[in-house]
Amino acid sequence: MEKIINACFDYLEEQVGWQTGMKKELESLRQNHPKIQAVVFAANQAQISDKNRALNKWIWQLRDAIDEANDVLDEFDYMKHKEQLPKNSEETKKKLAKFGKRALKRDPNLKRLVKAVQKLDKVSADVTTFLNLLDSAKQEQKEQEVDFYKARETGSLPTTNDLIGRGEAKEFVMQWLRKPSNEHRGTDLYRNISLLSIVGHGGMGKTTLLQYVYEEEMRKEFFDLKLWVCVSNNFDVKKVIADMLESLKKVRPSLETLEALQDSFRTEIMSKKFLLVLDDIWEEEENQDIRKWEKVLAPLAYGEIGSRILVTTRMDSVATMIAKVIKQEKERFQLRGLEEDQCLQLLNSHAFADVANPNERLRSISGEIVKKLSGSPLAAKVIGGVLNSSLDERHWTKVLNSDFVSSKLGEDDIFLILRLSYMFLPKYLQNCFAFCSIFHQDYGFNKDHLVQMWIVLGFIQQPHDQECTMEDVGGMYFDVLVKKSFFDKFEDPIGQYYYKMHDLIHELAQSVSMHECLRVEDGIKLPSIIPKTLRHLFVKTTNPDIIKKIGQFKYLRSLFLFIEASNQDLCSALIEIFKALRSLRLLFIWAPKGLKIIPIQEIGNLIHLKYFNIRGEKFTMLPRFLSNLYQLQYIIYGSSCEPRPSKVDDFLLSCINNLSNLCYVKLPGICSSSLCGIGKLKSLQELNMFDLRDASGYRIGEMENMNELCKLGINCLENVNDAEEACSAKLCAKRRLTDLTLRWSNTDSRNIDLDENVLDNLQPPKCLRNLRIERYMGARSAIWMNNVNGISNLEKINLSDCLEWETLPPFGQLPFLKSLELENMPKVKWLESKFNGNAKYHAFPLLEVLCIYDLEVLEDWFEAGVAAEDGCLFPCLIQLKVRNCPKLKELPSLPSVLKILQIQSTGTTNNCHLMLSELYISDPSVLLMEPLRSIASLKKLSISDNDEVVSFPNEAEQWFLNVRSSLSELKFFRLKSLESLPSSLESLSSLQVLQTGNVPMLRELPNLPPSLIKLIIEGCHPELKERYRKDGGSDRHKIAHIPNISIC
């Protein structure tokens, strides 16, 4: 509200004094503001209930009035921006006329502002009345402290693979997965499948237990297929089957009928041994649910013997129901509370996270607290996080004395405990968390996208530090919520992080946001009364009547529309709601069947819109209304239809550069790199690709005033004409730039001096962390690259296809460099050549990843025999890959922390002690040289790309015995002369995977160990295929014990 008051006073100062009437209301608001703050703060702390309905109603009236005033001020900003755009003489006359209207008090926007301020003043006048309710509200807070606590606070997530107190449970499940299948079930439809249900109250760790089990199985090859599906309480037959297909194929099926989905799924699992996890199954009505589950599970009957289903549920009746479906005796594992000592260990791991020497008095208090938790793992994490937020003894005693736990914890009690941490969150974090309930359970959150939504909805406070962006502040908010376990962190197969809410945490978010957030989906019963206070709405329906109801929520700030049908009634309903919802800040539209149904032009009137995300098929044009939505900060376009190069200009709007508030725009790659006049988007923070042209609007000078950029990629640098033009980009002035990519288009003959001069004048700021340079044709490093102090914050460097570059900068002196990749640089002779005469210089002190590919004249690591002191080179190196560096005879001494080593077409290593887990080589003889000769920790070995090796000598046979208890994967690729594999493979007791590819002279296999789970032979001699063919091969019996075999 203070922001509104100040903005109104600023507005009045711009006028000529005729609005003195509004000053009275503003002065009154300023006088009442401290009282209003006190009431709102106390009401929030007390978590208003039905006993405080009057106070609750007043606060919502206050919020409505504030939102109305914000809308008017937002419109003033909109008009101010519009008036600043280039105008013709007629528009200038209109502007003067508008000024005259203000002087005569006939400006409608001014009248709306006066009305909004008067309404706000009227509501605020009642503040004194509600000050008297504070005492009773505080008493209510004490009575309901349990009721308003949520969270799953923790200092940090465990970094080990151990489940505290759940080791036996995990071992039980692992053994169950391996136990022999029942061979005597005759012709039962589901005779190949076994089922185990994990049953327990919410917060007992059912899902977490199976996540650890599933993670371990993903590293093994025991099952052909592994599927994880979260069912939750919104159970739909076709959705569950589609989820299973997506889990297998990593693509959402477009099939619509049950028959098509079942048939597709049956085909995928036919004769395959699978592991299926069905997480969080609920029961609504047993008989009806049984019929549904029969349809879901029917395709599973075609799996191979030994297939397994794991189920988690809060209800024992679900375990019984699923067992009935597959006609088995119910097998269940009841997950109960932890023992007190285990629960205390878990509690303390979160309460004392990052605390070196915990206070003994605090340890004593935690020992008392754990007695109230009844062994609940989730409660231990939550309360541990609450305790960790302050190590003050008074805070811990307050938590101990709170009535947040009953002596017996059931499902509802766990939910009440979760609300505890919600009370300890500041209001701005409560807003951010509550908004997340708009997303479905088990939703995978992208941190950056969620923060963008928080920003446009006004949840993020303005940073005090001018160097800090709103995105930075929002990122810190998110990190706090992660630390307190409101979100769990996951990593996808390509190393990208995403986040999820535990189902109880999500339920809590729904509870605390019930007056503001609502999800409406077909098949889910609507609440009997939808609050008028609604601010955020998710709609997934084909019912026009439901769509029409949206228009009554005039204060709606965000709308998520999932439109899966197309008809005129629906289109008409959408037109109505977009005419009514003039206060929207955020609009997300997903239309998988096309966007023709979306009334695009009506969206053009949503002048408050700041975030627009549109996804759908057959959408190849950016709607023209975008150029009129001057408040837009984020535009995200997603479609499987990328416009052809010839259509790019049609796709883009020449006037999109009117959107000076735009911070982030995500368009198809070919489009985002071709925006004309992009220099006008001075607020833009990411520009990952921009193609330079020798034409107005596409030159590098467009970057001059884009000083908010954090990520920048510049392509086609050959179109920069001289050093002066390169300098016009003023990269060094971009104080927030952390990621920079500089690309020339080709390696054709170019002016070497020009390339060097251009790169010299593209000096980035000192804050840069990631640098990539491609196809630079200069012979030397840029001047700024030799100044270590100027690039000292670099963490990752990638140089590729720089064919003339001879001498590298002193990268070894960079104190924070973690990753260095060099590829196809045929004139580089040394990795590091400058030590500045410092005999104690530590080269590459933090480097973890070093990849060197195709450096054909690389002779040594250091020039002229200069070397770092023993133990000072690559002390933190974890991964080293060196390929096709034929003149490099020897690798340096490597640190014991190295885990992954690839050496192909290069020398071997110096004498050092290694604890490798992965090794990739082309010459098997290196295995007989130190330090590889003595290695005993190896888990994965790959030998490839060698046309000379015929067999393995006796010394190599002995080497394999050294790794018999550790080696789990062994692979041979592209060995054209190899005739036999090592006979000692039979002794490799840990070997699970053996694979060969393109080994055409291999005629037979040695005896293989019983531990082997997967055997893949591709491109071998025809004789081997005949020996081991499935139907009658003479040696097939030698490999019959292996579950998964593929020979082709």
List the one residue out of 206, 155, 163 whose CA is nearest residue 366: 155
For a pLDDT cut of 90, what percent of the chain falls above it?
Answer: 35
- pLDDT for 75-134, tens place per residue? 777 777 777 766 543 454 454 444 444 443 455 666 776 777 677 667 666 666 655 555
Give CA angle at 756 (750, 757), nearest 5°.
110
Give the separation between CA 288 and CA 325, rounded to whole angstroms. 12
| E runs forming strands in 911-1013 | 918-921, 940-944, 969-973, 993-997
Residue 210 φ then ψ, to 5°: -70, -25
Specify whether the CB–CB gap between 328 and 357 falls below 8 A: no
Average pLDDT in the chain:
80
Other beta carbons less than 10 A from residue 268's beta carbon: 18
Contact present, 29 and 121 (Cβ < 8 Å)? yes
Give dist(CA 772, CA 821) in Å, integer.
9
As a whole-number percent, the residues of the chain with pLDDT over 70 amount to: 77
Report residue 361 as tokens: 């008095």
- The DSSP secondary-structure symbol of 890 reads B
Looking at residue 873, its pLDDT comes to 77
> What token pair was written down for 961?
């015995």
Q: Tokens 């709102």 — which residue?
A: 40
Cβ contact 153:424 at 8 Å: yes
For the stretch 275-320, pLDDT in tens is 999 988 876 666 678 889 999 999 999 999 999 999 998 777 788 8
SS3 (DSSP) at 274: strand
Q: Where are the alpha helices (DSSP H) in 197-269?
A: 206-218, 237-249, 258-269
For the segment 820-825, the average pLDDT, to the nearest whole number, is 96
Whether the CB-CB separation of 980 and 1002 falls below 8 Å is answered with yes
Q: Are 418 and 382 in contact (CB under 8 A)?
A: yes
Of 510, 376, 503, 381, residue with least CA distance to 442: 503
What gap in Å lies between CA 641 and CA 644, rounded to an integer? 9
Cα 954 from chain centroid (whole Å)? 50
CA distance 411 to 504: 10
pLDDT tens for each residue of 629-670: 889 999 888 755 554 444 445 445 556 777 888 999 887 655
- Highest-confidence segment of 383-387, 445-449, 886-890: 445-449
* CA 509 – CA 516 distance, rounded (Å): 11
Strands (E) in 536-585, as ranges, are 536-540, 558-562
CATH of domain 167-334: 3.40.50.300
- Give, to the nearest 10 degrees, the angle between helix 237-249 and helix 258-269: 40
Q: Tell which residue, 731, 725, 688, has the closest CA to residue 706.
A: 731
| Helix intervals (H) in 646-735 | 648-651, 669-672, 723-727
Task: Please name the helix (run of DSSP H) or strand (run of DSSP E) that holds residue 42, with its range, or none.
Answer: helix 20-46
**Which own/partner contact pairs does 5-13 have at CB distance under 8 Å and 24+ positions apart?**
5/29, 5/30, 5/33, 7/73, 8/69, 8/73, 8/113, 8/117, 11/73, 11/76, 11/113
CA 834 to CA 786: how far, in whole Å? 10
Q: Is 873 helix (H, G, I), strand (E, B) or coil?
A: strand
Of 800, 807, 750, give the one whose Cα is nearest residue 775. 800
Q: Which of 29-43, 179-193, 312-326, 513-527 reaches the highest mean pLDDT? A: 312-326
Helix residue spans in 277-388 (DSSP H): 286-297, 316-325, 340-351, 360-369, 377-388
Write down the pTM of the prediction: 0.71
- pLDDT of 50 > 90? The answer is no
Q: Position of tokens 């999109």?
A: 656
Q: How many CB atoms lie within 10 A of CB 601?
A: 12
User: pLDDT tens digits for 142-160?
Assistant: 544 434 333 332 222 233 4
DSSP secondary structure letters along 576-593:
HHHHH-TT-SEEEEEETT
Residue 850's beta-bridge partner residues? 820, 880
Q: So what's the architecture of 524-672 in CATH? A: Alpha-Beta Horseshoe (3.80)
Kindly give, in sequence order, each residue whose CB lies less than 8 Å from that of residue 35, ignoring residues fewer than 6 positions away: 127, 128, 131
Task: Kindly state the average pLDDT of the residues 160-168.
Answer: 73
What CA–CA distance (Å, rounded) separates 330 from 332?
Answer: 6
Phi and psi torsions of 286, nearest 5°:
-55, -55
What pLDDT, on the 0 to 100 scale, is given for residue 390?
A: 86
- Domain coordinates of the chain in residue numbers? 2-143, 147-155+339-424, 167-334, 524-672, 684-805, 918-924+933-1048
Q: Which CATH number fits domain 918-924+933-1048: 3.30.460.10, 1.10.3720.10, 3.20.20.210, 3.80.10.10?
A: 3.80.10.10
Strand-strand pairing, 488-491 and 497-500: antiparallel
For residue 606, the tally of other CB atoms under 10 A from its CB is 22
Beta-carbon neighbour count of residue 948 at 10 Å?
A: 10
Rounded to the nearest 10 degrees, how much is the dihedral formed by the CA atoms of 164, 169, 170, 176?
A: 180
Q: CA 908 to CA 892: how far, in whole Å? A: 9
Cα end-to-end span (Å), the chain: 73
Q: How far is CA 180 from CA 23, 220, 308, in A?
A: 83, 18, 11
Predicted local distance difference test score (pLDDT) of residue 150: 34
**Residue 187: its pLDDT value, please?**
57
Angle at 132 (CA atoms; ends 127, 134), nearest 5 degrees: 95
The b-or-e profile of 316-349 (16+ CB within 10 A means b, else e) is: eebbebbbebbebeeebbebebbeeebbbebbbb
What is the Cα–Cα distance from 992 to 1010, expressed in whole angstroms?
Answer: 9
pLDDT band, very low/low/confident/very high, at 506 (cuts 50, 70, 90)? confident
Report the number of secondary-structure helices (H) and strands (E) in the chain.
Answer: 31, 31
- Sign of torsion, CA 771 777 778 780? positive
Q: Does the pLDDT of residue 445 top 90, yes or no?
A: yes
Of 140 and 155, the structure prediction assigns the larger pLDDT to: 140
Reported as a single tens digit per residue, the pLDDT across 403-413 is 554 434 444 55
Residues 311, 196 contacting (CB under 8 angstroms):
yes
**∠ at Cα 562 (556, 563), nearest 5°?**
115
Where residue 130 falls (left for φ over 0; alpha for ψ -120 to 50; beta otherwise) is alpha
Cα 905 to the chain's mean position, in Å?
38
Q: Is it true that 524-672 and 918-924+933-1048 share their CATH fold?
A: yes
Lowest mean pLDDT among 55-64, 438-447, 764-773: 55-64
Pairwise CA distance, residues 631 & 650, whole Å: 23
Q: Which residues contact 131 (CB under 8 A, 6 or more apart)?
A: 35, 38, 39
Q: What would the pLDDT profile of 962-1002 be if each residue is shown by its tens digit?
A: 888 899 999 999 999 999 999 999 999 999 999 999 999 99
Phi, psi of 227 (to 5 degrees): -130, 140
Prior bond of 931 cis (ω within 30°): yes
* pLDDT tens-digit readout, 843-868: 889 999 999 999 999 888 776 545 44
Specify the pLDDT at position 88.
40
Alpha-carbon gap, residue 73 to 583, rounded angstroms: 12
| Crossing angle (nearest 10°) for helices 340-351 and 377-388 | 30
Per-residue tokens: 655: 């006037």
The confidence band for 618, taking pLDDT boundaries of 50, 70 and 90, is: low
pLDDT score for 759: 97
Contacts of 475 (CB under 8 A, 6+ apart): 447, 448, 451
**In 3-state terms, what secondary structure has residue 559?**
strand
As given in the structure block, the two tokens for residue 179 are: 């136990």
